[in-house]
A and B are shown apart, each in its own frame.
Chain A
Amino acid sequence: MAPVFEYAPAPESRSIVDIAPSYGLFIDGEFAEAADGKAFKTVSPSTEEVLSEVAEATEADVDRAVKAARAAFEKWSALPGSERAKYLFRIARIIQERSRELAVLETLDNGKPIRETRDADLPLVAAHFFYYAGWADKLDHAGYGADPRPLGVAGQVIPWNFPLLMLAWKIAPALATGNTVVLKPAETTPLSALFFADICRQAGLPKGVVNILTGDGRAGAALIAHPDVNKVAFTGSTAVGKEIARTVAGTRKKVTLELGGKGANIVFDDAPIDQAVEGIVNGIFFNQGQVCCAGSRLLVQESVQDELLDSLKRRLSTLRLGDPLDKNTDIGAINSAEQLARITKLADLGEAEGAERWSPACELPENGYWFAPTLFTNVTQAHTVARDEIFGPVLSVLTFRTPDEAVAKANNTPYGLSAGIWTEKGSRILAVANKLRAGVIWSNTFNKFDPTSPFGGYKESGFGREGGRHGLEAYLDV
C-alpha cells in the first residue's frame, strides 16, 4: 500500500540530555570507579554510537554497596513513615520535572520510540513513586498487621526493556516500606539508573539508601548471593529466575520474580475487529515486542481469521519503523545485537518448521539493530514460535473453534503472565478470564499498566506481585 503522504522528519531534540563520557558506580551517595577500574561501553541501539562508558562492578563493589545499604538501613527504617513519604514524593516530582530529559535519555540508551518513553514509561515512573510515597506512612492500614517491618537490604536486578520503569517498580515500594536497596540495571541500559542516582542526590536522599551498580550478569549473581541481602527482587528471563530460586534455597531471603511470558491474545468472532487489531498491534509491537507480558500468541476464532488477518496486515503496513527519537516512529530499534540475533534465530526457526512468515514492506536503517514487524500464520502449538518467548516484534497466529479450545490453547504453556480477550459478550469475557491461568487479563484492551494495579505471573512467569497494596508484601517481613 503506497502512502498517500510522506511524513516529514520530526525528531525530538537530544540537546535536552547531557550524557557524561563516563560514569562510576553509585555507592553510599558517591560515584566511584569499580574496584579493579574496569568499565564497559553503552551504545545507542539505533545507531551503534557509543553513548558513555560505565564502571563494571566486581564482587568487591557489590560487597561495598551492600555494606553501605546495611549501614543506612537502621536510620532509614527508623524514620517516621511520613518522612520517608516526603523523600519519595520529592523523587516523584523531580522525575516529573526532568521527564523529557529522561525520556530522551531512555530512548537513546534503549532504542524504543520517544513516543513510548515520553507517553508511557516516564509518566508511569513518576506515578509509581507518587503512589508508593503515599503508602509509607499508612503501612499499619495495609492489611499486613500493625507496624509491619521492612526486611533490610534489598538486592534488585532489572532488565533492559523498561529500564527506568522497572527501577521504579523495584525502588519505590522498597523505600516506602523502609528497606534500603542495591540495584543493578541491565548491562545494555545503565544510563537512566545513573541519572536516577542524581535525582536521589537532588532529593537529598540519605547516603546509602539507594546504591546503583552497573555491570553484567556476574555482578547481579554476586548481589543475589550476598549473605547480607535480605530480599531479592528480579525481573528478567525465566532461566535466570530459576537459577536465582536455586541460589536462595535454604536461606531466609524473601524472593519475588517477574519472569517471561507467552501471552495469548484471544479474539472471538463477535469482537470489534478494528479495536482488536489495535490491541493486537499494541500487544506485540509495543516496545518492539520486548515485553514480558506481550500478547505474542494471537488466538483467533476460525470464522473471523481471514477478516482479522487482512485488517491486521493492512494496519502493520502503516507502522513506521526508524529513528526512535522521531515523534512519528512506531517501531524503534531492538535493544542489542545479542537480542536481535536471538529474534532472528527464532524467526528463522519458525520458517524452517513450516509456519508461514509475513512482514510488511519495510526498509530497515543501515546502522543499528532492527527487525521488521513479523507475523507467522499456520502455526501449531508444537511450533517453537508458539512455545518459546521470542521477546521481539514477532506474532504467532493460531486458530480455535470453541471457547473451551481457546482456553486450552491459551493455557498450554509453562508461562502465565498475561492474556487478552476480545469479545462483545460480557459473560464470555468473565468466563474465559476465570479459566485463564495468568496474572493479568486484559479484556478488550491490552498492555495497560498502573501503579495501583498488581502485576505478576502464574506458573513459570514467576511469583509475587508488583504494584498496588499487593506490591508492599514483597518488601515487608510478613
Chain B
Amino acid sequence: MSDRLNVLKTYKLYVGGKFPRSESGRVYEVTDAKGKWLANAPLASRKDARDAVVAARKAFGGWSGATAYNRGQILYRVAEMLEGRRDQYVREVAEAEGLSKAKAGEQVDAAIDRWVWYAGWTDKIAQVVGGGNPVAGPFFNLSSPEPTGVVAVLAPRKSSFLGLVSVIAPVIATGNTAVVVASETSPLPALSLGEVLATSDLPGGVVNILSGRTAEIAAPLAAHQDVNAIDLAGADEALAKELEIAAADNLKRVLRPQPVDNWAATSGTDRMTAFLETKTVWHPTGSLGASGSAY
C-alpha cells in the first residue's frame, strides 16, 4: 500500500449550473456520524438563496417548455451518471448516515431507481391527472397539468441521499425548477449530486443546491415573492409552521412535512401533483351536420 496522500474535494454549492462558493465566504464543519471531520461545506447565505431563485426562475421557461420526452431522457441520464459513480455515493452516504457499506449501497441503489421511476413519469402524468371534460354545451374543454414554477425544497434531514432524490426528482419531472436546501448535518451527498446533474444535460438552474443552516436559508425562500411553492420535508414542526406563515404572503403552494419512515418505499404521484397547477382551456366546437350525417 502506498502512502500517497489523497486529494480532498472542496465541496461547493450548485447554482445556475455552476459551482460557486458561498458569496458570504463562510463554511461549516461537516462530520461523520461519529464526529470525525469530513469536509468544510459552504454555509450559504440569504444572498445565495436569492441568487438561486434568480437562476431557477431563469431556467423555468426552457425546462417547463421542453418536451416531456426530453425531460424524461434527462432524468434517465441522471440515473446513468449516478450508476457510474455509485461507489462514491455509497462512501458518502455511509459516512453521512453512519451506515455499513451494504446498507448505504441499498440507499444509493434505491435513489438511482427513483430517478428511473420519475424519468418514466414525465410523459405520463398529464394523461393521468388531466383530460377532457364533458361539459354540457358545444365546447371543447381540456384540463392539463402545468408546473407551478420555482419550488423551494427543504431536503429531508436524515435521509441525505435517497430522501434528497425522492424530493427533487418529482419536482423537476413535471417541469418545475428547484432551489434545494440540503440536509444541514449531512449535506455532502447533496453537494456531490450537483456534479452528476451538471453532466446529465440538465440545463443549469433547473436544480440549485445550497448547504448551510436550514432555518437561515429557508426563511428568505419561504418569504420570496418569486418562489411559487415550498416543500417542507426537512423542516421540524416549529420551523414548518413559521415557514408556512411566511409562505402565505404570496400564497405559495405548501407541502407540509409528511411522516415518512421509509424513503425506500415506492412513491406515488403525490409529490408531483403537489406542485402542479391545472389549466382548463375552453373553445367552442360549433356544430356541423346538426341534422345528422350518413356516415
> Does B114 sit at the interface, judged by CB under 8 A?
no
B248 and A249 form a contact (CB under 8 A): yes
Q: Which of A422-447 contact B (CB under 8 A)?
A: 429, 433, 438-445
State in angstroms the CA–CA spacing of A463 and B244 once bound together: 14
Which chain B residue lies CB-closest to A275? B284
A249, A429, A454, A459: the one contacting B278 at CB < 8 Å is A454
A448 and B277 form a contact (CB under 8 A): no
| Residues of B contacting A245 in the complex (Cβ-Cβ under 8 angstroms) | 244, 247-248, 251, 254
| Residues of B contacting A442 in the complex (Cβ-Cβ under 8 angstroms) | 282
Which chain B residue lies CB-closest to A143? B128
A439, A456, A459, A469: the one contacting B228 at CB < 8 Å is A459
| Residues of B contacting A468 in the complex (Cβ-Cβ under 8 angstroms) | 133, 143
| Residues of B contacting A438 in the complex (Cβ-Cβ under 8 angstroms) | 279
| Residues of A contacting B277 in the complex (Cβ-Cβ under 8 angstroms) | 439, 458
Which chain A residue lies CB-closest to B148? A458
Q: Which of B136, B253, B270, B278 has the most CB of A within 10 A?
A: B278
- Provide the B251-273 mask, 1 if CB < 8 A to any CB of A, else 0: 10110100000000000001000
A241, A448, A454: the one contacting B143 at CB < 8 Å is A454
B282 and A454 form a contact (CB under 8 A): no
> Does B241 sit at the interface, judged by CB under 8 A?
yes
| Residues of B contacting A259 in the complex (Cβ-Cβ under 8 angstroms) | 251
Given contacts A429-B283, A450-B133, A450-B136, contact A456 B278 (CB under 8 A): yes
| Residues of A contacting B247 in the complex (Cβ-Cβ under 8 angstroms) | 245, 249
| Residues of A contacting B245 in the complex (Cβ-Cβ under 8 angstroms) | 246, 249-250
State in angstroms the CA–CA spacing of A301 and B139 once bound together: 25
> Does A141 sit at the interface, judged by CB under 8 A?
no
> Does A323 sit at the interface, judged by CB under 8 A?
no
> Does A414 sit at the interface, judged by CB under 8 A?
yes
Which chain B residue lies CB-closest to A430? B281
State in angstroms the CA–CA spacing of A454 and B137 once bound together: 15
Cβ distance A387 to chain B, nearest Cβ, rounded Å: 15
B248 and A441 form a contact (CB under 8 A): no
> Does B217 sit at the interface, judged by CB under 8 A?
no
> Does A391 sit at the interface, judged by CB under 8 A?
no
B129, B228, B237, B253: the one contacting A250 at CB < 8 Å is B237
Chain A: interface residue count, which band? 35 or more
A440 and B280 form a contact (CB under 8 A): yes
Cβ distance A57 to chain B, nearest Cβ, rounded Å: 25
B278 and A465 form a contact (CB under 8 A): yes
A127, A252, A441, A459: the one contacting B280 at CB < 8 Å is A441
B134, B141, B250: the one contacting A460 at CB < 8 Å is B250
Given contacts A448-B137, A453-B135, contact A443 B278 (CB under 8 A): no
Which chain A residue lies CB-closest to B283? A443
> Does B68 sit at the interface, judged by CB under 8 A?
no
State in angstroms the CA–CA spacing of A242 and B136 once bound together: 34
> Does A215 sit at the interface, judged by CB under 8 A?
no
Q: Is the interface of B mostly helix, strand, loop or mixed?
A: mixed
| Residues of B contacting A458 in the complex (Cβ-Cβ under 8 angstroms) | 148, 277, 279
State in angstroms the CA–CA spacing of A453 and B279 once bound together: 10
State in angstroms the CA–CA spacing of A350 and B197 once bound together: 50
> How many A-B contacts are there with CB distance less than 8 Å?
101
Cβ distance A448 to chain B, nearest Cβ, rounded Å: 5
| Residues of A contacting B249 in the complex (Cβ-Cβ under 8 angstroms) | 242
B241 and A250 form a contact (CB under 8 A): yes
Cβ distance A459 to chain B, nearest Cβ, rounded Å: 7
> Does B240 sit at the interface, judged by CB under 8 A?
yes
State in angstroms the CA–CA spacing of A96 and B70 once bound together: 50
Q: Which of B131, B133, B244 has the most CB of A within 10 A?
A: B133
B241 and A249 form a contact (CB under 8 A): yes
| Residues of A contacting B283 in the complex (Cβ-Cβ under 8 angstroms) | 429, 443-445
A448 and B282 form a contact (CB under 8 A): yes
| Residues of A contacting B143 in the complex (Cβ-Cβ under 8 angstroms) | 453-454, 468, 470
State in angstroms the CA–CA spacing of A148 and B253 once bound together: 22
B131, B134, B139, B270: the one contacting A445 at CB < 8 Å is B139
Cβ distance A247 to chain B, nearest Cβ, rounded Å: 9
Q: Which of A220-259 contact B (CB under 8 A)?
A: 238, 241-243, 245-246, 249-250, 252, 257, 259
| Residues of A contacting B251 in the complex (Cβ-Cβ under 8 angstroms) | 238, 241-242, 245, 257, 259, 459-460, 462-463
Cβ distance B124 to chain A, nearest Cβ, rounded Å: 13
Given contacts A245-B251, A249-B241, contact A450 B137 (CB under 8 A): yes
State in angstroms the CA–CA spacing of A462 and B277 once bound together: 11
A250, A448, A455, A460: the one contacting B240 at CB < 8 Å is A250
Which chain A residue lies CB-closest to B131? A469
State in angstroms the CA–CA spacing of A310 and B210 once bound together: 56
Cβ distance B267 to chain A, nearest Cβ, rounded Å: 13
| Residues of A contacting B139 in the complex (Cβ-Cβ under 8 angstroms) | 445, 448, 450
Which chain A residue lies CB-closest to B273? A473
| Residues of A contacting B284 in the complex (Cβ-Cβ under 8 angstroms) | 444-445
Cβ distance A172 to chain B, nearest Cβ, rounded Å: 16
A453 and B133 form a contact (CB under 8 A): yes
| Residues of B contacting A238 in the complex (Cβ-Cβ under 8 angstroms) | 251
B136 and A455 form a contact (CB under 8 A): no
B281 and A433 form a contact (CB under 8 A): yes
| Residues of B contacting A478 in the complex (Cβ-Cβ under 8 angstroms) | 270
Q: Which of A3-44 contact B (CB under 8 A)?
A: none
> Does A412 sit at the interface, judged by CB under 8 A?
no
> Does A305 sit at the interface, judged by CB under 8 A?
no
**What are 19 A-to-B residue pairs whose CB atoms are below 8 Å?**
A242-B251, A245-B251, A245-B254, A246-B245, A250-B237, A250-B241, A439-B280, A441-B279, A441-B280, A442-B282, A445-B284, A448-B139, A450-B133, A450-B136, A452-B141, A453-B141, A454-B143, A454-B280, A460-B250
Contact surface of B with A, Cβ cutoff 8 Å:
128-129, 131, 133-137, 139, 141, 143, 148, 228, 237, 240-241, 244-245, 247-251, 253-254, 256, 270, 277-284
The 6 closest A-B pairs by CB, nearest first: A250-B241, A245-B248, A249-B244, A450-B135, A452-B133, A249-B245
18 new A-B contacts, CB < 8 A, other than A441-B281, A458-B277, are: A241-B251, A242-B251, A245-B248, A245-B251, A246-B248, A250-B237, A433-B281, A439-B279, A440-B280, A440-B282, A445-B139, A448-B139, A452-B136, A453-B133, A453-B141, A454-B133, A459-B250, A463-B251
